[in-house]
């Protein structure tokens, strides 16, 4: 029995060392990339005349509380009104969303009419239905870019002008992601979300854009080329994270995804932990699914083309493993602590054997990687967060921001672990309810 316990201790310890080393590799890579996020932000394109034709689809399911205010905000967009159309995709709503759309005179598609079979689940299925009802071929002829928004989103009035100018002058890339900001930041949880976005926007998205690496699509506030979309089947995706699935498909097809730091959309973040856990578990499920199902194809692309962008995407896909690794680290440390206490208490657990060569290797490998990981954690929680808040954020209390982002990060460990175990389950889309109608407010 003692030998079995010793073997278990060693196996877990080796796993801990491997996890720590992998975390260190991810942290080093992320920190190197972040260096390109410090420079002052300036447009690398000129604002030109309105030219690009946009179709804006607003995904909505039971959004009677927010849809009218969202449409009111979108109608303030500063762009040639002949060059864009807005449609609300009223996706199987059972409340007054459809009635409100009629009352305020906004174009909308009602998927509940069932004119076409449903393809997939959740939001992408509704978007795909809308594309079919509006006509694939007609849309490709009428519009250049399709922009996706959620029903709770507000946008900057300059959003289409900036997208038009960047798209026209940057070689008409396959997709552009705009700046993802937060609509509400009063609760500690929503503040944590916002802080995470501010850091990610500057030190991941902006930095990668400057390095010429593919940017990430964030599910809302992005524009995709209409011809690319229809060539690849529209929104007929299999995962719960259609945005990530689209991102990988664009990269594998040789396309480009750019970042725009000058046009913002404001997305509502959950105030309650239960809703947040449910939302992030869905994200994690979809993320792991896309990671596992695209590992081989991305690796083949790298071997064939020798382009670093594929390795970058793999690192991003499996970067979510940090939460799972932290759980493993906690379990390992707990087991080792129990072992140490038992040994000190005089329990015969072959202490001398454990404190031999294996212990030396463990200390030599684990302690340094742990120290470096703590240093990188400090860098993320203090340095990049403070800089991002000063430059881009609205939260003035740095201490509150640090507590908030640590709170969100800690709960991510649970959602990532659950998402990992449920990664094959991609058939149930759980909606996140929306209630905020003004930036910076929280409904009590």
* pLDDT per position as a tens digit, 131-148: 999 998 899 999 999 999
From its phi and psi, is residue 233 left (phi > 0), alpha (psi between -120 and 50) or beta? left
Quick one: which H or E segment has residue 20?
Answer: helix 2-34
Whether residue 208 contacts residue 284, with contact meaning beta carbons closer than 8 Å, is answered with no
Name the phi and psi angles at 106, rounded to 5.
-105, 140
Q: What is the pTM of this model?
A: 0.90
CA of residue 87 relative to chain centroid, distance: 24
Mean pLDDT of 38-57: 97
Q: Is the pLDDT of residue 360 over 80?
A: no
Q: Which three-class secondary structure state does DSSP give residue 355?
A: coil
| pLDDT-derived band at 441, boundaries 50, 70, 90 | very low
Q: Where are the domains of the chain?
A: 1-444
pLDDT of residue 437: 60
Total Cβ atoms within 10 A of residue 114: 10
Say how far apart CA 125 and CA 85 lie, in whole Å. Answer: 21
Each residue of 233-258: pLDDT tens digit?
999 898 999 999 999 999 999 999 99
Name the phi and psi angles at 88, rounded to 5.
-90, 125
Strands 257-267, 175-182: pairing is parallel
Mean predicted lDDT score pLDDT of the chain: 88
CATH of domain 1-444: 3.90.550.10
pLDDT of residue 327: 64
pLDDT of residue 439: 54
For the ranges 8-12, 202-206, 351-355, the lowest mean pLDDT is seen at 351-355
Q: Which three-class secondary structure state does DSSP give residue 10?
A: helix
> Which carries the bigger pLDDT value, residue 118 or residue 364?
118
Most confident among 263-267, 269-273, 415-419 (mean pLDDT): 263-267
Q: To 10 degrees, what angle do helices 321-344 and 398-421 make? A: 90
pLDDT of residue 211: 98
Total Cβ atoms within 10 A of residue 40: 5
Q: Cβ contacts of residue 269 below 8 Å, gap of 6+?
A: 182, 183, 184, 185, 189, 190, 193, 194, 276
Please give the share of the chain, as a percent, with pLDDT higher than 90: 64
Give the E-state strand segments of 228-277 in sequence order: 257-267
Say how far apart CA 137 and CA 142 lie, in whole Å. Answer: 9
Q: Is the pLDDT of residue 440 over 50?
A: no
| pLDDT-derived band at 329, boundaries 50, 70, 90 | low
DSSP 86: E
Say how far apart CA 399 and CA 403 lie, in whole Å. Answer: 6
Say how far apart CA 368 and CA 415 lie, in whole Å. Answer: 28
Each residue of 156-209: pLDDT tens digit?
999 999 999 999 999 999 999 999 999 988 899 999 999 999 999 999 999 999
Q: Which three-class secondary structure state does DSSP give residue 349?
A: coil
Say how far apart CA 101 and CA 64 lie, in whole Å. Answer: 9
């Amino acid at each position: 029995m003692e030998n079995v316990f010793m073997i278990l201790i060693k196996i877990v310890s080796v796993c801990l060392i491997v996890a720590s080393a992998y975390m260190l590799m991810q942290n080093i890579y992320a920190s190197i990339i972040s260096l390109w996020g410090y420079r002052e932000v300036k447009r690398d394109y000129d604002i030109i005349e309105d030219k690009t034709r946009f179709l804006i689809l607003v995904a909505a399911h039971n959004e009677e509380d927010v849809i009218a205010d969202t449409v009111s905000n979108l109608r303030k967009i500063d762009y040639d009104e002949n060059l864009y159309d807005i449609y609300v995709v009223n996706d199987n709503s059972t409340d007054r969303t459809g009635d409100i759309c009629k009352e305020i005179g906004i174009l909308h598609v009602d998927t509940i009419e069932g004119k076409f079979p449903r393809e997939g689940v959740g939001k992408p299925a509704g978007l795909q239905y809308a594309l079919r009802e509006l006509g694939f071929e007609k849309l490709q002829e009428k519009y250049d870019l399709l922009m996706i928004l959620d029903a709770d989103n507000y946008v900057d009035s300059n959003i289409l002008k900036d997208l038009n100018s960047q798209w026209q002058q940057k070689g008409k890339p396959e997709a552009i992601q705009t700046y993802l900001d937060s609509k509400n930041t009063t609760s500690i949880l929503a503040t944590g979300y916002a802080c995470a976005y501010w850091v990610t926007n500057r030190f991941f998205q902006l930095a990668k854009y400057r390095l010429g690496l593919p940017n990430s699509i964030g599910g809302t506030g992005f524009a995709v080329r209409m011809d690319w979309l229809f060539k690849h089947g529209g929104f007929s995706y299999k995962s719960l994270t259609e945005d990530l699935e689209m991102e990988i498909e664009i990269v594998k097809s040789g396309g480009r995804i750019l970042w725009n730091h000058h046009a913002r959309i404001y997305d509502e973040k959950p105030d309650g932990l239960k809703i947040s856990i449910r939302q992030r578990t869905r994200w994690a499920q979809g993320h792991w699914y896309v990671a596992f199902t695209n590992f081989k194809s991305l690796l083949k692309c790298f071997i064939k083309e020798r382009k670093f962008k594929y390795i970058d995407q793999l690192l991003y896909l499996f970067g979510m493993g940090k939460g799972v690794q932290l759980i493993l680290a906690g379990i390992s440390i707990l087991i080792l602590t129990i072992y140490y206490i038992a040994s000190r208490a005089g329990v015969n657990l072959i202490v001398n054997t454990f404190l031999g060569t294996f212990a030396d290797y463990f200390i030599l490998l684990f302690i340094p990687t742990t120290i470096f990981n703590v240093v990188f954690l400090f860098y993320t929680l203090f340095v990049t967060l403070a800089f991002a808040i000063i430059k881009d954020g609205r939260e003035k209390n740095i201490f509150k921001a640090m507590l908030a982002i640590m709170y969100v990060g800690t709960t991510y460990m649970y959602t990532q672990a659950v998402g990992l175990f449920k990664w094959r389950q991609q058939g149930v889309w759980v909606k996140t309810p929306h209630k905020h109608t003004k930036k910076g407010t929280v409904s009590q």
